[in-house]
Amino acid sequence: MKVAIINYGMGNLGSVRRALAELHAEAFIADHPGALWDAQHIVLPGVGSFAEGSARLHADGWDEALRKQVIEHRKPILGICLGMQLLASQGEEGGSSRGLNLIPGKVARLDTLGCRERVPHAGWNDVEVVSTHPLFAHIGNETDFYFVHSYVFCAQPEHVLATCKYGVSFAAAVGEGHVFGTQFHPEKSSKAGHRLLRNFLEYGSC
């Protein structure tokens, strides 16, 4: 299976590619929007600020290409960390800016939501899987995943697949149809993360 990892200048692309290769996926770095045609699945990684990520997605034509591939051609997509946040309608980091609007909601800083813990939220935290979903197949409740972020995706309850508690409860994973996002880093979450990535690769391909 061919998996495109979007290179919009904002990601730990190397880590994501290695994790997917470990699962025997044919993962490649997509350097331009046209490369998405070759992929069956798409991963939108992300390390950085929302405003910068959003600017790059819109300036380089990724938004239009993603809309076509994900909405028209129904290719499954997984957004990771900032990549998940960019699936939202709007973000506040680095000034208000628009996201890809693939899953409705906005992105806000943890402490503006009432979190009184140390921010960034960095380290392993357990997640609660709120609904049975193929993305979390064989992954039990209270499994630890690796998080490192200061902002969270405030999604509608029906789009929240898993939650995490850190001062406040927030969306650890979101999903609508074949569009998914994880606030944690599955590519860095060792065995649990590999299981989730495998679930994503298996989604819609059997």
Of the candidates 41, 81, 93, 115, the residue annotated as catalytic is 81
Nearer to another protein, 20 or 70 (CB): 20
CB of 68 to another protein, least distance (A): 28
Nearer to another protein, 41 or 149 (CB): 149
CB of 205 to another protein, least distance (A): 20
185 is catalytic: yes
178 is catalytic: no
CB of 108 to another protein, least distance (A): 15
Task: Tell me the H-state helices in the chain.
Answer: 13-22, 50-59, 62-66, 82-85, 190-202
| Vertex 26: Cα angle to 24 and 29 (nearest 5) | 130
Nearer to another protein, 35 or 148 (CB): 148
Binding residues for another protein, per CB under 8 A?
11-15, 18-19, 22, 47-49, 52, 82, 94, 117-126, 138-140, 142-144, 146, 148-150, 165-166, 185, 187-188, 190-195
Of the candidates 41, 149, 159, 185, the residue annotated as catalytic is 185
Pair 80, 47: CB distance under 8 Å: no
187 is catalytic: yes
Could you list the beta-strand ranges (E) of the chain: 2-6, 26-30, 41-44, 77-80, 90-91, 97-98, 105-109, 121-129, 143-149, 151-155, 160-166, 168-176, 179-182
Pairing state between β 105-109 and 90-91: parallel
Of the candidates 64, 164, 187, 206, the residue annotated as catalytic is 187
What is the token pair recorded at 170?
Answer: 């927030």
The set of catalytic residues is 81, 185, 187
